[in-house]
């Protein structure tokens, strides 16, 4: 599917998807969005890259590494990075749940602070749930990309 149209579109669309995913992630607490949707959307962007430029594109062209053709797909450095990502996400999610225990609150208790007078934003709200949501995001991106790249390589 590496047609010129596809490549040109992908170049334009992928960055937009990433930005939308980031905004969905941050806005999630107050508007439609959240870690899960942002994660799936990010994965979609990667899927478009894979479809357009092939599975080795990330390793070869973006990261500038050589790809060993005889190697198992699951041992690729990118794939290793993916499964590290979902392990990391799970750690963040569980870890953010453990923090309240230090304050004598139940596991996964969430709270939030409102900051007034912040430059540019003026009013900023920081929810502890964002850390948990970030864990969700990492697990979804890491997990889906692992599945996608391993199955795709087949």
Partner 1 sequence: MDPELPIVLLAVGLPFAVAGVTPLLFRALGERTGYAGSVVALVCFGLLGSQYGSEGTVELEWIPSLAVALRFHVDGWALLFALLASGIGTLIFLYSPAYMHDESGLARFYAALLAFMGSIIGVALAADLISIFLFWELTSLCSFVLIGHYTEEDESQYAARMAMLVTVGGGLFLLVGFLLLSLVAGDVVGPASAFDLAAMLERPDELQTALRERGLFVPVLGLVAVGAGAKSAQVPLHFWLPNAMAAPTPVSAFLHSATMVKVGVYFVGRVRPMLVSLEWLLLFATVGLVTMTVCALLAVAATDIKELLAYSTASHLGLMIAGFGFTTVLGAETGVFHLLNHALFKAALFLVAGIVAHETGTRRIADLGGLRHDLPFTAAITAVVALSMAGIPPFSGFYSKELLFEAALEASHVYDIGVLGWLYPAVAVFASVFTVVYSLRFLALFVGDRPAGYSHVHRPSLTLLVPPALLALLTAVISVDPELAVRAIVQSGVDATAVDTHEMHVGIPTSYSPAVGMSAVAIAGGILAFPVYGTLHDGIRAIPRTAPPVGANWWYDAVVGNLTGSGRWLATRVHNGLLRTYATWTLATTCALTLAGFAATATVVPAELIGLDADPAIALVLAVAVVAGLAVVLASTHVAGVLTLSILGFMVAIFYILASAPDLALTQLVVETLVLVIFLLVIEEIPEYYEVGLGKVARDGVLSLAVGATAFVTVLVTTDARPDGTTEIARYYTERAVPEGGGTNVVNVILVDFRGFDTLGELVVVALAAISILTLIIMRSGGAGGDEE
Which parts of this chain interact with partner 1 (CB under 8 A)? 24, 28-37, 40-41, 43-44, 47-48, 50-51, 72-74, 82-83, 86-87, 89-90, 93-94, 97, 107-108, 110-112, 114, 125, 127, 129, 132-133, 135-136, 139-140, 142-144, 146-148, 150-152, 154
Q: How far apart are CB 7 and partner 1 at their closest, in Å?
A: 16
Residues contacting residue 116 through CB under 8 Å, at least 6 positions apart:
122, 123
Q: How far apart are CB 134 and partner 1 at their closest, in Å?
A: 10
Considering the complex, state which of residue 64 and residue 151 has its C-beta at the smaller distance from partner 1: 151
**Nearest partner of 83 among 137, 145, 35, 131, judged by Cα:** 145
Q: How far apart are CB 48 and partner 1 at their closest, in Å?
A: 7
Separation between Cα atoms, residue 14 and residue 32, nearest integer Å:
21
For residue 102, the number of C-alpha atoms closer than 13 Å in the C-beta half-sphere is 6
Whether the Cβ atoms of residue 51 and residue 148 lie closer than 8 Å to each other: no
The alpha carbon dihedral of 37, 110, 146, 53 has a sign of: positive
**Nearest partner of 108 among 118, 95, 97, 122, judged by Cα:** 97
Considering the complex, state which of residue 32 and residue 117 has its C-beta at the smaller distance from partner 1: 32
Please provide residue 122's backbone torsions phi and psi, each rounded to the nearest 5 degrees.
65, -55
Considering the complex, state which of residue 78 and residue 93 has its C-beta at the smaller distance from partner 1: 93
Q: How far apart are CB 123 and partner 1 at their closest, in Å?
A: 12
Considering the complex, state which of residue 22 and residue 47 has its C-beta at the smaller distance from partner 1: 47
Q: How far apart are CB 49 and partner 1 at their closest, in Å?
A: 11
Considering the complex, state which of residue 64 and residue 144 has its C-beta at the smaller distance from partner 1: 144
């Amino acid at each position: 599917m590496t047609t010129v149209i596809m490549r040109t579109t992908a170049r334009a669309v992928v960055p937009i998807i990433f930005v939308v995913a980031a905004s969905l992630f941050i806005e999630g607490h107050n508007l439609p969005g959240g870690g899960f949707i942002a994660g799936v959307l990010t994965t979609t962007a990667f899927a478009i890259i894979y479809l357009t430029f092939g599975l080795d594109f990330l390793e070869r062209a973006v990261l500038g590494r050589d790809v060993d053709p005889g190697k198992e797909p699951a041992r690729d450095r990118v794939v290793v990075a993916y499964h590290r990502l979902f392990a990391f996400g799970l750690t963040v999610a569980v870890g953010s749940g453990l923090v309240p225990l230090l304050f004598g609150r139940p596991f996964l208790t969430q709270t939030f602070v409102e900051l007034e007078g912040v430059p540019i934003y003026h009013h900023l709200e920081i929810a502890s749930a964002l850390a948990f949501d970030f864990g969700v995001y990492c697990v979804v991106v890491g997990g889906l990309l692992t599945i996608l790249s391993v199955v795709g390589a087949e």
